[in-house]
Chain A
Amino acid sequence: MADINNIVLSGRLTADPELKYIDKGQSKVAVCRFFLATEDPYGKTSFIPIIVWRNYAEAVANYLTKGQEATVVGKIQSRQDKENNRTFIEIYANEVKYGPKVSAEQA
């Protein structure tokens, strides 16, 4: 049986999401990346990197903006950067619930 790996996280976007297309064989796959600032009960803020893949990435990147609230459901994964041998911990989201949009002045 597989281990448990479930994450539910809410917070605010620190910047507009980034959208990139990476080569997967012959086709290009969309990857959306953004950071959620999430505050604990003691007022300490963590900045958590979130990754969304494929069609959902395109939709999420198009809809979310800086300062907006979002709730993310997904799993936590580690990724090894081959170049400098560093390990990154990221949340792979399979569901993103959008909070209300913020106006340009508030962002």
Chain B
Amino acid sequence: MDHNDTFRELMNKLRAPFPKEVQQPRSDGHGTYIPIAYYLERLNEAAGQHWSHERVGEPVFYDQDRLVHTVVKVTILGRSHHGEGFSKYQVDTSGKMINRHYAIRSATKDAIRDALTFFGMKQDSLSTDKRKEVNPKITKVDPQLNSERTCIKCNKELSIEEIENLLNLQIKFDYCTEHLPKHLRKKK
């Protein structure tokens, strides 16, 4: 098998649609998204040691929108694409960003996901009916709605388990396990 065949086979694995179960509700309540963890899992399964990423330039902070923006170059078997990523962040009372490294890491992962779409990896799963629920106006203008969900108190990126837990408890604000208020932990 030559190099091109390997690349083609790898891309086929990468581009296969995601199962419906991986979809998670967005934090704004409009439709669903696929958490980055599933993209990375897929990428590692398909490409293993054949992929790498590097951040291009320094992260840019948009204070007014409380967004951090990063550019990342993803290389798979010698071919590269750039991706752009965004992440929301929280500030303390003096206006200083909380846990800067969490915010940057979250934006970097979002950029990897963006780069993967240039390799032809799909943004959505098999289900097409779900997509109708997504408000097209919102998805177009607001890149942060595609970004990872982060804790309202510490900016830490939420794991899939944490998001599912919030959903089970019907909590609409994003909390990591550590910062989830005790009095909200009991389901009503």
Give the complex CA separation of A58 and B173 in angstroms: 9
Task: Count contacts on A: residues with CB < 8 A to the other chain.
Answer: 11
Contact call A59/B184, Cβ cutoff below 8 A: yes
Q: Is A97 in contact with chain B by the CB < 8 A criterion?
A: no
B-side interface mostly = loop
Give the complex CA separation of A58 and B180 in angstroms: 10
Expressed in whole angstroms, the minimum distance between the Cβ of B179 and any Cβ of chain A is 9
Q: Which of A1-9, A17-25, A39-47, A74-82 interfaces with chain B?
A: A17-25
Task: Provide the residues of chain A in CB contact with B93, threshold 8 Å.
Answer: 22-23
Expressed in whole angstroms, the minimum distance between the Cβ of B154 and any Cβ of chain A is 9
Q: Is A55 in contact with chain B by the CB < 8 A criterion?
A: yes
Q: Is B171 in contact with chain A by the CB < 8 A criterion?
A: yes
Task: Provide the residues of chain A in CB contact with B172, threshold 8 Å.
Answer: 62
Closest B residue to A57 by beta carbon equals B181
Q: Is B152 in contact with chain A by the CB < 8 A criterion?
A: yes
Give the complex CA separation of A62 and B140 in angstroms: 27
With contacts A19-B152, A21-B152 taken as known, whether A61 is within 8 angstroms of B173 at the C-beta atoms is: yes
Closest B residue to A16 by beta carbon equals B172
Q: What string of 1s and 0s marks CB contacts (under 8 Å) between B157-174 and chain A?
A: 000000000000011110
Contact call A58/B183, Cβ cutoff below 8 A: yes
Instruction: Spell out A's residues near B (CB within 8 Å).
Output: 19, 21-23, 28, 30, 55, 58-59, 61-62
